[in-house]
Structure 1
Amino acid sequence: MSQKQLTGKKIAFLATDGFEQVELTKPWEAIKNADADVELISIKTGAIQGMNHFDKGDMFTVDKTIDSVSAEDYDGLVLPGGLANPDTLRRNESCVDFVRDFFKQGKPVAAICHAPWTLVEADVVQGRKVTSWPSLQTDLKNAGANWVDEECVCDQGLVTSRNPDDLPAFCQKAIEEFAEGVHAEQHA
């Protein structure tokens, strides 16, 4: 694999307070190392709070707010998990629309751990094979997904993983999908 396989690509990371820190930092580092431009998008300006499970982690500076961006501006989307983060994002109409627009445009999306909650709200998992933190399996199945307990699952440009232990496979597959680009069959 080329170290610079994402040259010219722009990847959005959507998060807010309460995201699992390593689920943002490891993909961010891997995607930047593949030469992509990355931006942290949130529902507020300033900084957002990372978490190391239930303990406060570092603060991260937001690049742009959700109301100032469009999925058209990006080649792919990463959704870190954590408990509070996806629960807050899925209650924000602009965030849900932003996520849904990546699917409408056939662009790759990578979601880990609890992040698929936002995918459920965006109504984009129907008929897709996905994985997540185990406690989300009922929500995903009720939304029409085929939930499996696997390290990393890719279904037509949608990359999902279960937890931080899966980050190496998650990052590798996300980079591969971002490099491939638009998936015609992904349109929601």
Structure 2
Amino acid sequence: MRVAFLMAPKGVEQAELTEPWRAVTAAGGTPQLLSTRPGHILAFHHLEKADTFPVDGTVAESTVDDFDALVLPGGLANPDALRQDSRAVAFVRDFVAAGKPVASICHGPWMLVEADAVRGRTLTSYPSLRTDIRNAGGTWVDEQVAVDDSAPGTLITSRRPADVKAFCEALVHALLA
């Protein structure tokens, strides 16, 4: 099972990348880091620069058919930059339309809002996104993890880095289902 991790060149919350990456690998999956540009991405620990990670491919050269699931890590700057890239937004929209699992944590659900993928769905996020989710037609809940299995496909969302363990468990469960 191949899992795309989509992020901007900088601004992803490191734990929201590395912990789900480890969980996918431990479950026998093959994670692949996608970005809007080739090279490396720069992760952050909240607002402090952290490690860099090599990009495996760009969203422009990838298709939904290449992957079985999509992970959208958060960090404040990461999804804000991604939602301004039309190819990244289309990639997310296509993933949801294909009915494949999409998992997003913290500020990552901004991409789901931008891709018009939350209408009629129940999800969680960092609390500051609740109004955006509601305005986009979704139902926001304050829970560690929300799993919405309504069509098309499964949306898995979590609030913050402190919820990453529950997020990873729900992600792996969806991948193995």
TM-score, with normalisation over the residues of structure 1? Answer: 0.90
Query: Given the alignment of the two structures, is residue 130 of structure 1 paired with residue 127 of structure 2, yes or no?
Result: no
Query: Is structure 2 residue 8 aligned with structure 1 residue 11?
Result: no
User: 2:13 maps to what in 1?
Assistant: 20
Q: 1:1-188 to 2 correspondence within 5 Å?
A: 9-16=1-8, 17-156=10-149, 157-180=154-177
Secondary structure of the structure 2 residue equivalent to 1:111? strand
String of CA shifts for 1:101-146, please: whole Å, max 9, x gaps: 1111100000000000010000000010100000000000000010
Q: What runs of 5+ residues in structure 2 fail to find an aligned partner?
A: none
Equivalent residue of 2:75, what SS? Answer: coil
Count of matched residue pairs: 172
Cα distance in structure 2, aligned partners of 1:38 and 1:165: 22
Letter in 2 for 1:166: D
Distance 2:31 2:122 in 1: 27
Extract structure 1 runs of 4+ deviating beyond 6 A.
none
Gaps of 5+ in 1: 1-8, 181-188
In 2: Cα distance, 1:54 partner to 1:176 partner: 31
Q: TM-score, normalised by structure 2?
A: 0.96
Q: Give identity over the alignment, percent.
A: 51
Q: Distance in 2 between matches of 1:129 and 1:66?
A: 27
Shift of 1:72: 1.0
